[in-house]
Amino acid sequence: MAGSEVEHLLASLDRLRATFWWKARELDAAGLAYRFPSSALSLGRLLKHLARAEDDMFTRKLWGETPSEPWRSAPWKDDPEWDFTSADHDSPDELYALWAATIERSRASVQRALADGGLDHQAHLGWGGAHTSLRRLLFDLVEEYGRHTGHADLLREAVDGVAGEDPPDGMPWPHPLG
């Protein structure tokens, strides 16, 4: 409750990850593919998009490294929304595994940066001669999860009625959140 800035940022991100997981977990292909008629979003598409956001944030933006697969070889020129559209062809197990593995890599990357300068660690991403910090990248990902966790609330409620703000006590977490 009175942790450091690092502890609060990481806990906020993990709380959003956990809430998103609660909204996206244990669905079959039809549940993950459900979309409102007026929207291109589905829980499956959000799982894959957030995996890309995690990888982009803590691989390319933080370190200037080449993105992991499947992002590295994705046909971005042919389909700029590939992280969303390709999710329609992935199984639930593939989507859940991609998201979970990406979170593990993200956590390791963040710990590496924290050990090398803390929240002020200078990221690769920059413009005009200035570089952003790890702090800024963490805030950006908290914002990304906040936006899409709100979408997930609405989608999951429409799929099977699951509603609420916080995951239920005792809910089993996947490995990256456990």
Q: How many domains does the chain have?
A: 1
C-alpha distance from residue 118 to each of 69, 82, 99, 113, 123 (Å): 27, 33, 25, 6, 11
How would you write the pLDDT of the chain (178 residues) with one tens digit per residue? 678 899 999 999 998 999 999 999 999 999 999 999 999 999 999 999 999 999 999 999 999 999 999 999 999 999 999 999 999 999 999 999 999 999 999 999 999 999 999 999 999 988 777 899 999 999 999 999 999 999 999 999 999 999 988 887 777 655 444 4
Range of the domain at 157: 5-177
* C-alpha of 127 from chain center: 24
Name the pTM for this structure. Answer: 0.93
Assigned token pair, 83: 């992280």
Distance CA 122, CA 135 (A): 9
Q: Output Rg (C-alpha) for the chain, integer angstroms.
A: 16
